[in-house]
Amino acid sequence: MISTTEEPRKTPLAVLSRVALIAILVWLGLLVFLALSQRSMIYYPSRNDAESLEREASAQGFEPWKNPQGGTIGYRSLPAPDDPRPPLAILITHGNAGYATHRADYTAILRAAAPDRALSVYILEYPGYGSRSGTPSQTAFLAAADEAVALIPDNKPLILLGESIGTGVASATAAAHPDRVAGLLLLTPFDTLANVAQHHYPLLPVRWILRDQYPSENWLKQFHGPLAIVVAANDTIVPATFGQNLHDTYAGPKKLIIADQADHNDLLHTLPPSAWQEALQFLLNL
C-alpha cells in the first residue's frame, strides 16, 4: 500500500500574512536604501578643473573669487571702480545641480532690473562643486556661505538670491547675519526640505531619516528684513505650495510673485523683466 501525505492548505490568513511580511521587508529595504543614499539623491554636483572654470568665467565677465588662503570660493562680476551709482552686492546661492558659472546668466538680468545701482554679483561655489574640494552637505554649504558673506565688502548693501536648495542656504545665512543682509530673493523655495521630501515619498518616514532638512521656515524667524519669493506655478520638483507656506509664515515685510507658466528649472528665462524689477524694487525701497 502506498501512503500519501497531503500538504496542509494555506489559509487566506496565512497568505495575507506572507504578503504583508514581504511588503514590510520591501518597505524596510527601501527605507535603508534612502537612508544610506540620501545625499546622493539631494546633491548633483558637476565638476571641472580650475583652469577650465576660470576660462569659462572670464568669457562671461566673471573672475575667480578667492578667500585669504587663496582658495576659489566662487566667482564675481564687479562694476567699474569709478561707477558713480550707489553700490549693491548680490550673493547667489544656487540650486543642487551644476556649478557656480552655470548661473552667470543672472548677471545681465539683475543689472537690467536695477539699472540705477553699481551691481556686484557674487556666485558661491559649493564644496564638492566645480573645482572646489569638499563634500556637499547642509553643514558644508552653510559654512561656505558664512565665509562668503564675511568676504563681501561691508560698504555695499547685500541681497541674498537663492534658488531651490540654495533658498535654504540663503535663509540660514540671513538668519546668521540679520544686520548684514538687506534683503532676500528666493526662487522656488520651500518651507523645509523635509516637507518636500515627504511629498515625494509619502509612504516613508522621511522626516525621521533626512539629515539635511534645511528648515527655512524656522531660520527666517531670526530675520526680519524684506523677503521676496518667486514660485513656479507648474513646479513638479518643489511644488508652489511649499513656497507659499514659507511666504505665509514669514513675519516680516514680504512679497509673493507667481510665475504662471514656469516649471522648476525654467524660471530664470521665463520670468519677465518686470517681475525681476518688481522684486528688486521691493527689496531696495523698503
Residue 274, domain CATH: 3.40.50.1820
Residue 202 confidence (pLDDT): 87
Residue 2 lies in a domain: no
Determine which helix (DSSP H) or strand (DSSP E) holds 44, and give its type and residue range: strand 44-45
Question: pLDDT at residue 86 above 90?
Answer: yes
> If you search the block for the grid coordinates 516637507, which residue do you land on?
195
Q: DSSP assignment, residue 83?
A: -
Question: pLDDT at residue 257 above 90?
Answer: yes
Q: Cα separation of 96 and 110, whole Å?
A: 21
CA angle, 30 then 35 then 37, to 5°: 90
Residue 3 lies in a domain: no
Domain enclosing residue 50, as ranges: 14-285
Count the domains in the chain: 1
What mean pLDDT comes out for the span 94-111? 96
DSSP characters over 151-179? TS-TTS-EEEEEETHHHHHHHHHHHH-TT
Q: Cα separation of 188 and 105, whole Å?
A: 17
Residue 226 lies in a domain: yes
What mean pLDDT comes out for the span 269-283? 94
pTM above the 0.85 mark? Answer: yes
Range of lowest pLDDT (4-8, 9-13, 146-150, 213-217): 4-8
Residue 7 lies in a domain: no
Q: From residue 80, give the alpha-carbon distance in Å to each of 84, 118, 121, 262, 275.
A: 9, 8, 13, 34, 27
Residue 212 lies in a domain: yes
Residue 278 lies in a domain: yes
Residue 204 confidence (pLDDT): 76
